[in-house]
Amino acid sequence: MARFVSGGEGVLVAARRDDASARWLLVNDVAESRHVDLLLPRALLPARAQLLALDPASGETVPAAWRDQADGFIVELDLTAHASVILIAADLPATDVAPIRAALTRRVAIEDWTIQVVPEADDGWCQLPVWRLHERGWQALPGWQQSGFDDASWRRVSAHDGRAVASVSAVSCLLRTTLPPGADALRLPLPVSGEYLVYANGALIEKRIGPPPADGLLTFAGRGLHDLLAIEVASCSGLAGLTTAVRVRCAPVRIGALRAWSELGLDWFSGRVRYRATVDLTSVPAVAWLDLGAVQHCAEVWINGALAAHLPWPPYRCDCARWLVAGANEIVVIVANTLANRFTWDDAHPTRTGASWGVTPRAEPSGLIGPVTLELG
C-alpha cells in the first residue's frame, strides 16, 4: 500500500491496480501548496514500470521525479492549492511527454484591473431589482437621497415581484439602492407607478409630472463606484413605487486592486462580471501560466481575444504561452458566481428556498479575488 513519507496532510488518495499498471489519484484538498513524498512499495509496480504524472486539467504528462530506497520508490510531487495529479506506474515504451510545469523563473503580478457588469440579456441593459424602501409620512427625512444616509432600518424589497411599492396612505415612497459599478444611464421610461423625483448621489437628475416619457436614456455623471440612486414616488391613486426592476447601463470602470463583489455594491448580484487588464512583455515566453488565485466561483480566460481556458473549479490556473505576444497583452477574465446571492432577495415563488428547513438564504463571497500572477519561464 502506498503511504506518505512527508507532506500528506490534507492530500486525498485513491488507488487502482491491474496486471499492467497501477494508478493513484492525489487531490490537494486544502487552500495552500503541498510538497508530497509518496512511497510506492516495489510489489505494487510492474516489472519495468515507467512513472508518469498526469495533470487532469490539461492532459499533459511528465516523468515523475523519484528516488530509490530499499523498500520502494519515493515519488516527489508539488501540488498547488486544490490541485490534483494522477500518478501512473506502467510498463510503457518511452514517449515524448509535455511537462506539467516547466521551470518558472519569473512572476508578474497583475494588479490594475477594469471591470464591467455583463447584462443578463442581449439588449445591453443590466437589471437593478434590489432596493431599500421607506413609506414617508409628513415628517421630513433630511439627506435621505445622499450616500451617507443610514437606511438600515428601511425595508429591503425586490422590484421583480411588485413589492417595491408603498400604500396610498403614505405621503410618498422613498427608494434607495447602490448602483452597479460603471453605471452611467437609466433606461426610460422608468417602471414607476406615480410621479417621481430621481437623484444620483444626492443631485436631482429627473423630475416627472404627468405622462411618462417615450423610450430613451437618462444619463448622469457618477463616480463609477458606490454611486447612489434614490427615487421619491408619489401617487394620488393606487400604489406608489416601482413595478419592476430599473434597467441601467454599465460601462467599464477601473477598480485598480481586486476585491469581492460585496465591496463593489454587488452583494445581491448573481451573474457575470468581465475583468480586463494589460500585461507588457519584452519577448514571447517559452512557458507561461496564468494563476488567478482565489475565484468565486467559475472563470473563463481570454488572452488577446482568444479563449484560453474554462476554469469551473480550483486550481484556477491555465497554460497560456501560445497566446502571448511581445508587447501589450490583453487579459480578460469573465467570472460567474452561483444563484445563492439572488436567493437572498428573490423569494417571490410560493415555496421559498430553505423555508421548510429553517434555512436563511445568505449571500456568498463572489468575484475574482486573486492575487493574479503571470508565471513565466
Instruction: Tell me the pLDDT tens digit for each residue of 131-178.
Output: 998 888 777 889 999 998 999 999 888 887 666 676 655 668 899 999
Q: How far apart are CA 131 and CA 345, in angstroms?
A: 10
pLDDT tier, 47 (very low <50, low <70, confident <90, very high otherwise): low
Question: Is it the case that residue 69 has pLDDT exceeding 80?
Answer: no
Q: Which residues of 315-330 are buried (b: 16+ CB within 10 A; e: fewer)?
A: bbbbbbbebbeeeebe
**How, if at all, do strands 195-200 and 253-256 pair?**
unpaired
DSSP state of 80: -
**How, if at all, do strands 3-6 and 34-41 pair?**
antiparallel
247: helix, strand or coil = strand
Question: Is it the case that residue 250 has pLDDT exceeding 60?
Answer: yes
Q: What is the CA angle 151-202-155, rounded to 5? A: 20
Structure-block grid coordinates of residue 150:
443610514
pLDDT tier, 97 (very low <50, low <70, confident <90, very high otherwise): very low
Report the residue count for the chain: 377
Structure-block grid coordinates of residue 95:
514517449
Closest CA to 135 of 103, 120, 157: 157
Q: Measured in Å, how far apart are the chain's first and last C-alpha atoms?
A: 37
Domains present along the chain, CATH in parentheses? 3-100 (2.60.40.1180), 107-119+252-376 (2.60.120.260), 130-244 (2.60.120.260)
pLDDT digits (tens, 9 = 90+) for 273-308: 999 999 999 998 888 999 999 999 999 999 999 999
Is 372:294 a contact under the CB 8 Å cutoff? no
Structure-block grid coordinates of residue 254:
477601473
Q: Which residues of 344-374 are buried (b: 16+ CB within 10 A; e: fewer)?
A: bbbbeeeeeeeeeeeeebebbebbbbbebbb
> So what's the pLDDT on residue 101?
47
Residue 189: which residues within 8 A CB-CB, separation 6 or more? 212, 213, 214, 215
